[in-house]
Structure 1
């Protein structure tokens, strides 16, 4: 199978149509799952939070899933020194909503899942990193208690050996993470 631009991720729809780039995939799926607002202005605001969360991908994903040894420590230090200011801004956005624990009220949208993912990676690097913001902690619990999410988290593969030889435990077998599994 030829992958557009030779990179992942790619979503294959109906075994023929390829959608690449995380944002395009997420927005396509959001329409199918009811996590895309119908109101165009709200949809743009949701997309802004989603895009802001995507800026966390580059420092977090490689630091947790790929980097090892001194390189891991360097990336971790850089992330941990910059994240408090970023987290403060996300918390401020959460606090704009009086109607619920999610960024735009009581209903989660696709941006909420992206932010949750990145924040959960951050807690792998420093367990108490979110503790300064009760709104963020409430948000994390609210996402974790959503139907479907709760069940997934109960069976999600465990990540081990972050910083030395990251692996996921899948069906009891340690599988390397990152781009170059052995």
Structure 2
């Protein structure tokens, strides 16, 4: 029987990795379909908004990575126990996205001098700004981002961190022991641990 779920993305962790973490956690067998850029250009007109990742699930085509992540988080009871928890998860994920966009800005900068300046600012200013606040938040929530329990915001953070650290080629969590502990907990979750061990090795 073929997998009930197909995830289409590039040869990268990137925006698809949180979805992969969630599917692995939920024990959903999925086809991890990876395409190069030339192939993407061919299929782009068939994509709902011309972007990846796209997930085909139970006869439906899902797009927008955060919305897909939230969809599977609900299926796996990772939204939190209350409406306030759900709101807090969204706030955390949106803030992680704000942080991630600084990495995107560095990655796609073509001017080598400007790219070096942006990279230095990302390491010296931007990263401490966000990670110090994340460290405090997780410290005050029993080792998790929301409600002293595992939620999709924790998996999202650990997965996106893979991309960000690959881009800078450094451990971003040095000096942030609570975040490091959270990453370890997520990466050792049943399903996630197996996914990490078996996933293709990529630069981003």
Following TM superposition, by how much is the alpha carbon of 1:111 offset from its aligned partner in structure 2, in angstroms? 0.7
Give the corresponding residue for 2:48.
4
Give the corresponding residue for 1:163.
none
Q: 1:122–1:24: structure 2 CA closer, same or farther, 3 Å change rule? A: closer
Q: What is the distance in 1 between the residues matched to 2:157 and 2:50?
A: 27
Q: What is the distance in 1 between the residues matched to 2:74 and 2:88?
A: 15
Q: 1:138–1:8: structure 2 CA closer, same or farther, 3 Å change rule? A: same
Following TM superposition, by how much is the alpha carbon of 1:85 offset from its aligned partner in structure 2, in angstroms? 0.9
Give the corresponding residue for 1:96.
140
Give the corresponding residue for 2:77.
34
Q: How many residues align?
A: 157
Following TM superposition, by how much is the alpha carbon of 1:106 offset from its aligned partner in structure 2, in angstroms? 5.3
Q: What is the distance in 2 between the residues matched to 1:126 and 1:26?
A: 26
Q: 1:75–1:149: structure 2 CA closer, same or farther, 3 Å change rule? A: farther
* TM-score, structure 2 normalization: 0.65
Give the corresponding residue for 1:109.
151
Query: Counterparts in 2 of 1:1-150, with a 5 A limit?
Result: 2-15=46-59, 17-60=60-103, 63=106, 70=112, 73-81=116-124, 82-98=126-142, 101-104=143-146, 107-124=149-166, 125-150=168-193
Q: 1:150–1:69: structure 2 CA closer, same or farther, 3 Å change rule? A: farther
Higher helix share: 2
Structure 2: state its 5+ residue gaps.
Answer: 1-44
Aligned-residue CA RMSD in angstroms? Answer: 2.6
Q: 1:156–1:78: structure 2 CA closer, same or farther, 3 Å change rule? A: farther
Following TM superposition, by how much is the alpha carbon of 1:27 offset from its aligned partner in structure 2, in angstroms? 1.1
Following TM superposition, by how much is the alpha carbon of 1:117 offset from its aligned partner in structure 2, in angstroms? 2.0
8 Å Cα contact 2:73-2:152 kept in structure 1: yes
Give the corresponding residue for 1:170.
none
Q: For 1:61-118, what per-residue CA distance to the aligned partner results, in whole angstroms no more than 9, with x for missing partners?
A: 5756x668827545432421311111101111101113xx321355321111111123
Q: 1:157–1:145: structure 2 CA closer, same or farther, 3 Å change rule? A: same
Following TM superposition, by how much is the alpha carbon of 1:23 offset from its aligned partner in structure 2, in angstroms? 1.8
Q: What is the distance in 2 between the residues matched to 1:14 and 1:36?
A: 21
Q: For 1:2-30, what per-residue CA distance to the aligned partner results, in whole angstroms no more than 9, with x for missing partners?
A: 32222222222323x22221221111111
Instruction: State the structure with bigger RCO (CA 8 A, min sep 6), 1 or 2.
Output: 2
8 Å Cα contact 1:123-1:130 kept in structure 2: no
Q: 1:106–1:147: structure 2 CA closer, same or farther, 3 Å change rule? A: farther
